[in-house]
């Protein structure tokens, strides 16, 4: 699903209005009707107090139109106009008039007004600011927002949580609505998926408000949300007359004294992702444990007991994942450098492999094109430097990915894969996966997919999704806290089965 910028959403609006020869208030009415239907389907006329807080722009207009529908269906409503500017939008005014025609007189909240009482049992509709927010809310509006957040009422946000900017971190983190549920129009917004801004939403859902399909199909987006539908289209089925050679020979290179488990996790994940053959290359101290723990694995060792000093590959693997538990000792750095020089096809670099590259950036020129980097936030910072907010982080990461021709996997709650200036935002995974070795499993999986012939970009997108899904399946059985990286490996099979199962109704709607 495409993720459009605020600018593109305004363009979609304009295009739809011109092509369908409608007025802008028709779109607003469609949006408000969709929200009303969502609420009505759940409340079915319950006599709960609904307090609507409406700004004076089009987000506020949506709120006013919604108030009218709610009142027409007998709901108990209070409408507040958050009067933060003189510049009221045309469609806000139109809907204000329509309310007044029905003898509904909103309560106008101004800087000097007292804040209305909100009970924890009320439902708050948040229609103060939408995607048009372009500066910090005034202090009194921020205080009203804080008052709503403190009420413990269920807060339903129209389009976006009010006060949440679409292209930067909030000016003041207290001046943003903490939404219980966001009903967002037509397309998901990038801010929903980034740590600085995503924390303000509990749940979200997209409502189709009828923006023109021609525009939505034609317009290129910088970011895309990756769901099951996209993943199924990437999947490469296994063939009846195939053999292990068909699915490639993968190599996992890493480990040092006390960190052989990282290689074990990655190798196991690589095998479970479907690679035909997997060989691990480790210092000698890892030999026995790996041979015992993973019988399917072949093990090659370095001449050194404790760390890798020279990576010799007696065959040309189809895919290599390197870096987990590797350490950054001088001889290991030299071995890594020689390895990169000798590799021609893309490799997957993780953990200490990335740390070495951050320490010695001149080595980046030896990284084969289309290689995959899988940094966690600290490793990313070492590679690209610090950032002021997530949006700047993404811009810097994009520039890095383009200049080194790297598929960059930015790990987080919503992992984002960046390549050639485009971002793919993952939708699977859970907080239980923030645990030791989870990243080693991902690297093993992505390497396993590359061994099977997935391109670097495909392997990264597919691997990230599959990894998150395996984590979700594990968490559904044992909860978040007990989740261990090896549980993720054990759920890879079920994750494949889930990907290949027919979509349920909700998934079909989201396609």
Other beta carbons within 10 Å of 229: 13
Q: Cα–Cα distance between 339 and 326 in angstroms, integer?
A: 13
268 is known to lie in a ligand binding site? no
Q: For ligand LP7C6HRI, which is the closer residue by CB, 216 or 406?
A: 216
The answer to whether 32 and 69 have CB atoms below 8 angstroms apart is yes
The answer to whether 441 and 260 have CB atoms below 8 angstroms apart is no
Helix (H, G, I), strand (E, B) or coil at 16: helix
61 is known to lie in a ligand binding site? yes
Q: For ligand LP7C6HRI, which is the closer residue by CB, 68 or 411?
A: 68
Residue 501 CA to its chain's centroid (Å)? 23
For Cα atoms 340, 344, 350, give the angle at the middle one, nearest 5 degrees: 45
350 is known to lie in a ligand binding site? no
Six-digit token pair at 205?
Answer: 């859902």
- Rg (alpha carbons) of the chain, rounded to whole number: 26
In the complex, least distance from residue 114 CB atom to ligand LP7C6HRI, rounded to whole angstroms: 20
What is the C-alpha end-to-end distance of the chain, expressed in Å? Answer: 7
Q: Report CA-CA distances (Å) from 374 to 105, 120, 438.
A: 56, 43, 12
Other beta carbons within 10 Å of 507: 14
136 is known to lie in a ligand binding site? yes
Q: Cα–Cα distance between 99 and 91 in angstroms, integer?
A: 12
453 is known to lie in a ligand binding site? no
Q: For ligand LP7C6HRI, which is the closer residue by CB, 32 or 445?
A: 32
Q: For ligand LP7C6HRI, which is the closer residue by CB, 34 or 393?
A: 34
Give 486-505 as a 3 state SS string: HHHHHCHHHHHHHHHCCCCH
Contacted entry of ligand LP7C6HRI, K ion, none for residue 157, CB cut-off 5 to 8 Å set by kind: K ion
Stretch that binds K ion, among 44-52, 76-84, 149-157, 346-354 (CB under 5 A): 149-157
Q: For ligand LP7C6HRI, which is the closer residue by CB, 18 or 138?
A: 138
In the complex, least distance from residue 169 CB atom to K ion, rounded to whole angstroms: 18
Residues numbered 123 to 142 that lie near K ion (CB under 5 A) are 126
Six-digit token pair at 171?
Answer: 């000016």
Q: Report CA-CA distances (Å) from 6 to 15, 190, 206.
A: 14, 10, 15
Q: For ligand LP7C6HRI, which is the closer residue by CB, 133 or 445?
A: 133
338 is known to lie in a ligand binding site? no
201 lines the binding site for K ion (CB under 5 A): no
133 is known to lie in a ligand binding site? yes
Of 157, 197, 272, 428, the one binding K ion by CB under 5 A: 157
376 is known to lie in a ligand binding site? yes
162 is known to lie in a ligand binding site? yes
β-partners of residue 109 are: 82
In the complex, least distance from residue 91 CB atom to ligand LP7C6HRI, rounded to whole angstroms: 7
158 lines the binding site for K ion (CB under 5 A): yes
In the complex, least distance from residue 377 CB atom to ligand LP7C6HRI, rounded to whole angstroms: 29
Question: What phi and psi, each to the nearest 5 degrees, are found at residue 420?
Answer: 50, 40
The answer to whether 321 and 266 have CB atoms below 8 angstroms apart is yes
In the complex, least distance from residue 130 CB atom to K ion, rounded to whole angstroms: 5
Helix (H, G, I), strand (E, B) or coil at 54: strand
| Site for ligand LP7C6HRI, rule CB under 6 A | 9, 12-13, 27-28, 31, 55, 57-62, 84-85, 89, 129-138, 158-159, 185-186, 211
Q: Which residues are within 8 A (CB) of 296 and not within 5 positions of it... i.e. 6 or more apart?
A: 271, 278
For residue 356, give the DSSP letter: H
Helix (H, G, I), strand (E, B) or coil at 226: strand
Q: For ligand LP7C6HRI, which is the closer residue by CB, 93 or 497?
A: 93
Contacted entry of K ion, ligand LP7C6HRI, none for residue 162, CB cut-off 5 to 8 Å set by kind: K ion
Helix (H, G, I), strand (E, B) or coil at 35: helix
In the complex, least distance from residue 80 CB atom to ligand LP7C6HRI, rounded to whole angstroms: 15
Q: For ligand LP7C6HRI, which is the closer residue by CB, 4 or 336?
A: 4
130 is known to lie in a ligand binding site? yes
The answer to whether 249 and 276 have CB atoms below 8 angstroms apart is yes
162 lines the binding site for K ion (CB under 5 A): yes
Among candidates 46, 49, 66, which has minimal Cα distance to 58?
A: 66
In the complex, least distance from residue 131 CB atom to ligand LP7C6HRI, rounded to whole angstroms: 4
227 is known to lie in a ligand binding site? no
Residues numbered 33 to 92 that lie near K ion (CB under 5 A) are 59
131 is known to lie in a ligand binding site? yes
Give the residue ranges of the annotated binding site for AMP. Answer: 411-415, 439
Q: Which residues make up each annotated binding site for (6S)-NADPHX?
A: 58-62, 130-136, 159, 262, 325, 376, 440
Residue stretches of the annotated binding site: 58-62, 126, 130-136, 159, 162, 262, 325, 376, 411-415, 439-440
Binding site for K ion (CB under 5 A): 59, 126, 157-158, 162
Q: Which residues are annotated as a binding site for K(+)?
A: 59, 126, 162
């Amino acid at each position: 699903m495409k993720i459009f910028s605020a600018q593109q959403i305004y363009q979609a609006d304009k295009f739809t209005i011109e092509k369908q020869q409608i007025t802008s208030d028709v779109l607003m009415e469609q949006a408000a009707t969709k929200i009303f239907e969502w609420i009505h389907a759940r409340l079915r006329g319950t006599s709960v107090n609904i307090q609507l807080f409406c700004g004076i722009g089009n987000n506020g207009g949506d709120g006013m139109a919604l108030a009218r529908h709610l009142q027409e269906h007998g709901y108990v409503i209070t409408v507040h106009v958050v009067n933060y500017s003189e510049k009221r939008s045309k469609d806000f005014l139109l809907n204000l008039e329509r309310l007044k025609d029905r003898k509904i007189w909103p309560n106008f909240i101004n800087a000097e007004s007292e804040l209305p009482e909100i009970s924890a049992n009320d439902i708050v509709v948040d229609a103060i600011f939408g995607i048009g927010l372009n500066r910090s809310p005034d202090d009194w509006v921020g205080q009203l927002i804080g008052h709503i957040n403190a009420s413990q009422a269920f807060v339903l946000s129209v389009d976006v949580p009010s006060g949440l900017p679409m292209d930067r971190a909030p000016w003041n983190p207290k001046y943003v609505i903490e939404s219980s549920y966001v009903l967002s129009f037509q397309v998901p917004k990038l801010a929903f998926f980034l740590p600085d801004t995503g924390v303000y939403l509990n749940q979200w859902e997209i409502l189709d408000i009828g923006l023109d399909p021609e525009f939505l199909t034609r317009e290129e987006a910088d970011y895309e949300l990756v769901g099951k539908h996209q993943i199924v289209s990437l999947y490469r089925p296994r063939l009846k007359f195939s053999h292990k050679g068909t699915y490639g020979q993968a190599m996992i290179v890493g480990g040092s004294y006390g960190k052989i488990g990282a290689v074990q996790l990655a190798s196991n994940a690589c095998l479970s992702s479907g690679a035909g053959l997997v060989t691990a290359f480790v210092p000698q101290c890892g030999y026995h444990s790996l041979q015992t723990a993973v019988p399917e694995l072949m093990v090659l060792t370095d001449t050194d007991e404790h760390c890798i000093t020279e990576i010799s590959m007696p065959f040309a693997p189809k895919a290599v994942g390197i870096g987990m538990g590797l350490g950054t000792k001088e001889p290991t750095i030299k071995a890594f450098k020689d390895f990169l020089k000798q590799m021609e096809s893309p490799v997957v670099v993780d953990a200490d492999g990335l740390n070495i590259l951050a320490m010695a950036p001149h080595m980046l020129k030896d990284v084969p094109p289309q290689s995959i980097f899988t940094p966690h936030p600290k490793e990313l910072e070492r590679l690209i430097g610090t950032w002021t907010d997530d949006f700047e982080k993404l811009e810097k990461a994009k520039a890095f990915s383009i200049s080194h021709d790297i598929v960059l996997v930015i790990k987080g709650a919503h992992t984002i894969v960046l390549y050639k200036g485009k971002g793919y935002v993952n939708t699977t995974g859970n907080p239980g996966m923030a645990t030791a070795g989870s990243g080693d499993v991902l690297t093993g999986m992505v390497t396993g997919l590359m061994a099977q012939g997935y391109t670097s970009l495909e392997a990264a997108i597919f691997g990230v999704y599959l990894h998150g899904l395996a984590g979700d399946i594990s968490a559904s059985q044992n909860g978040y806290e007990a989740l261990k990286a090896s549980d993720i490996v054990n759920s890879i099979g079920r994750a494949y089965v889930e990907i290949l199962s027919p979509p349920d109704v909700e998934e079909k709607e989201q396609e």
